[in-house]
Amino acid sequence: MPPDSVAALLQRHRVNENLNAAVIPAAARNTLDLAADAVVGPLDERIIEATGAALDAGHTHYEPVPGIDGLRATLAQHLNEATGAQYEAANLLVTAGMQESRFLTLQLIDAGDGAIALPEVVHPGARKALGARPRETVSLVVDAERRLPRLAAIRAALEGGSRLLYIESPSRLSGATLDGDEMAAIAALLADHDAGAIIDRGLAPWASGSVAAPTARVALIGEAFPGAGIDSWLAGYIAVPQDWLPPIQSQKQIMAICTATPAQFGALEAGSLYAEEQPARLAHMQALRAGLQQRARAAGLDVLAGGAAGLLALRLSPSQKSEGLARLAAAGYQVADGSDFGAPDVLRLTVCDAARAALDLLADA
C-alpha cells in the first residue's frame, strides 16, 4: 500500500492536463522514426575535433549560467543575419535545448494579470511547459490551411487582457510561416497593448528566404543550429530584450546552473560552419520534400501548406487516419499524430527517403 500522501500527490498531478501532454522526439535517428520535425544530419568532423579539444583544454567545469560568451555571440550574429535584429551576446541565453527554451520563457516572462495566448494547434511541448507550474491560457484559433493563429484571434486575445502570446513560425505541425506583413501586424498589436510574445523560430533554418520575426517585446527561441548533426546534444537559445533576461537567467541557475559544455562547444563550432553548410543541406531537404509532396498529391493525399523542409503534414479523414496509423504501426513506422498538437485530422512525417514508403502506406489506407 503506498502512503496516503502518494495518492494525494498523484491526484494533484493527474488533473493537470497540460503536464500530461505528449512527448514528441526532437530529432529522427533511424529510418522508421518519422515523428520528428527534421532528421539528424551527418556530423562534420570539425565539430568533433573542436568539442574534443575544448574538453581536453579543461572545459569540463561549470560555465557561466547564460552560456559561454562565444556561443552567445555566435547565436546573436546568426539571428541578426536571419532576421535583421540587432542582438548582442548579452541578449542571448543558451539553453539545454528547445524544451528548456519553451519552459523558461513560458514560465518566467511576465504575462501580467492576463492569460497566456496559445495557438490551438501548437507543439505539445509548449503545453507541457505550462503544465509544470500551471499558468492560465487562452486558445488562439488557427487557419485551416497552415494551422497558424489568425490575426483576428490574436487581436481578440489581447483585447481580452492577454499580455503574452506564444507563436510558432514556422509551425511545428505544418511547417508554414507567418509572412512579413502578418508579423508586422502582430508587432503593432503587441505595441498597442503593451504585450509581449514568445516566437518559436526553431524551424526557420529549414525554410527558404528569411522568416520574419519582430524583436522588440519578443523572445525568440529555437534550437542552436539544427541540421548540423548536434540535435541530440541539446543546445538551444532564448533571445530577449536585455531587461527580460534577469528572471530567466535566475531560473536557469535554479534548475540547471549552466548548459552542458560538450553541447555548448559543439554548438559553437556548428555555428561557425553554419553559413557555409546549411544552404546545401536546406536545398537537399527541399528537393526531397518537393518529391514527397508530389508523390503524396499524385496518390490523392492532401498535403498542408508548409515551408519548413524537414517535415510534411497531411490532412486525413478520420477513417483514413486511423487506418493509416494502423498500417504504419504494422510496418514499424512511427509518425507524429496531429492530435498531440491539437489537430486531430493531421499526421506529420519527417522528410527523408523512408517517408516514401510511409506515404505509400497512407495512400492505400
Q: Which stretch binds other proteins (CB under 8 A): 41-49, 180-188, 274-282, 300-308?
A: 41-49
> In this chain, which of 43, 85, 141, 305 binds other proteins, going by CB under 8 A?
43
> In this chain, which of 121, 224, 234, 239 binds other proteins, going by CB under 8 A?
234
How many angstroms separate the CA atoms of 364 and 174, rounded? 22
> In this chain, which of 86, 210, 232, 294 binds other proteins, going by CB under 8 A?
232
CA distance between the termini of the chain: 47
Closest CA to 206 of 106, 345, 312, 105: 312
CB-nearer residue toward other proteins: 91 or 261: 261
Cβ 318 to other proteins shortest distance, Å: 28
Beta bridge pairs of residue 227 = none
CB-nearer residue toward other proteins: 53 or 290: 53
**352 touches other proteins (CB under 8 A):** no
> In this chain, which of 73, 204, 239, 258 binds other proteins, going by CB under 8 A?
258
**184 touches other proteins (CB under 8 A):** no
- Read off the amino acid at residue 296: A
Window 293 to 322, contacts with other proteins (CB under 8 A) = none
Cβ 303 to other proteins shortest distance, Å: 26
Taking a C-beta distance cutoff of 8 angstroms, is the pair 320, 244 a contact?
no
**168 touches other proteins (CB under 8 A):** no
Q: Which stretch binds other proteins (CB under 8 A): 13-21, 114-122, 170-178, 314-322?
A: 13-21
**271 touches other proteins (CB under 8 A):** no
- Secondary structure of residue 320 in the 3-state scheme: helix
How many angstroms separate the CA atoms of 365 and 167, rounded? 33
Cβ 42 to other proteins shortest distance, Å: 8
DSSP state letter for 39: B
What CA dihedral angle connects 205, 207, 208 and 214, to 10 degrees?
A: -80
Cβ 114 to other proteins shortest distance, Å: 11
**254 touches other proteins (CB under 8 A):** yes
- For residue 155 the three cell numbers come to 487581436
Helices (H), the chain: 4-14, 45-56, 69-83, 98-108, 124-131, 151-159, 180-192, 245-255, 261-298, 318-331, 355-363
> In this chain, which of 75, 76, 108, 238 binds other proteins, going by CB under 8 A?
108
- For residue 346 the three cell numbers come to 493531421
What angle, 0 to 180 degrees and rounded to 10, lies between the N-to-C axes of helices 45-56 and 261-298? Answer: 160
Binding mask 67-106 for other proteins (x = CB under 8 A): -----------------------------xxxxx--x---
**343 touches other proteins (CB under 8 A):** no
- Ramachandran quadrant class, 243 (left: phi over 0; alpha: psi -120 to 50; beta: rest): alpha
Cβ 48 to other proteins shortest distance, Å: 4
Taking a C-beta distance cutoff of 8 angstroms, is the pair 68, 79 a contact?
no
**253 touches other proteins (CB under 8 A):** yes
CB-nearer residue toward other proteins: 315 or 348: 348
**196 touches other proteins (CB under 8 A):** yes
How does 130-143 read in b/e, with b if 16+ C-beta sit within 10 Å? bbeeebebbbbebe
β-strand pairing of 196-200 with 218-223: parallel
**231 touches other proteins (CB under 8 A):** yes
**202 touches other proteins (CB under 8 A):** no
**118 touches other proteins (CB under 8 A):** no
**113 touches other proteins (CB under 8 A):** no
- Could you tell me how far CA 13 lies from the centroid of its own chain? 25
> In this chain, which of 122, 148, 157, 164 binds other proteins, going by CB under 8 A?
164
CB-nearer residue toward other proteins: 49 or 145: 49
